[in-house]
Amino acid sequence: MPTVPHDGGTVHYLKAGTGPGLVMVHGTGGDAVTNYAHLVPGLADLRTVITPDYAGSGQTSDPGGDLTLDLLAGQVAAAFEEPSDLVGFSLGAAVAAKVAAERPELVRRLVLIAGWTHLADSRLELGLRTWSRLAATDPESFAAYGALLAFSPEFVGAAGAGTLTAGEGPPGTLRQIQLDLRVDVRDLLPKITAPTLVIGNTRDYLIPVEHSRALHAAIPGSEYAELDSGHVVLLERPREVTELIRTFIDQR
């Protein structure tokens, strides 16, 4: 696995394909493999796909201290090999938005999936705070609650409880959830100049679709699409989300 140095610790990433760069940023409790490994083959014919792990996920260690968007955005920016398209999912959408706003020379086109602007309502706050509390105290309930928030009922029924609650999340998951509660990118969004596509999910119980719509409304000139999916659309609707990304980044 390639690495790149950063003040917050060595950043590990995966790389596949040929052509201009496409950097894809994972979400809370995920990593480069679990979020994107199954999507990379559908994009690697168009782009050199780079999937970094930020602090606390994959092989990128958590340096301790405050976990901030500044740190994660810096780690992701360090993984760029050239100006590239940028995709961010969930917490990765906030990270990607920060990179696009503050490092515009790096970002050609931007795709934000299942993101949010800030802790805008009680529904979002209650969901994240409960998820955080369970992560700290009750791993079994944390896994079950996460599956119920992350996926649509049909997907949960088809996959089965055992499949969706197997394994453990990355060691940095709790701190990443706590960062979710502090995310506020409202001041950054008007500064984004890269052509942007926002993707929302109509049956998202973790980050309800209204938050994606608000994200779209706050980014000048952005495009918007919705998919019939729960939060982890990368697993529920991989073909559809891949096609949206391909079509958007391949525009001339």
Q: Known catalytic residue: 90?
A: yes
CA distance 43 to 147: 27
Token couple for 103: 């490092």
Strand partners, 110: 86, 196
Catalytic residue among 57, 84, 90, 222: 90
With b for 16 or more beta-carbon neighbours within 10 A and e for fewer, the 91-125 pattern comes to bbbbbbbbbbbbbeebbbbbbbbbbbbebeeeebe
Catalytic residue among 26, 211, 216, 231: 231
In terms of Cα–Cα distance, which of 210, 207, 198 is closest to 232?
207
In terms of Cα–Cα distance, which of 236, 7, 192, 6 is closest to 98?
192
Catalytic residue among 12, 152, 204, 216: 204
Q: Known catalytic residue: 204?
A: yes
* Residue 175 near residue 62 (C-beta atoms within 8 A): yes
Q: Known catalytic residue: 45?
A: no
Tell me the catalytic residues.
Answer: 90, 204, 231
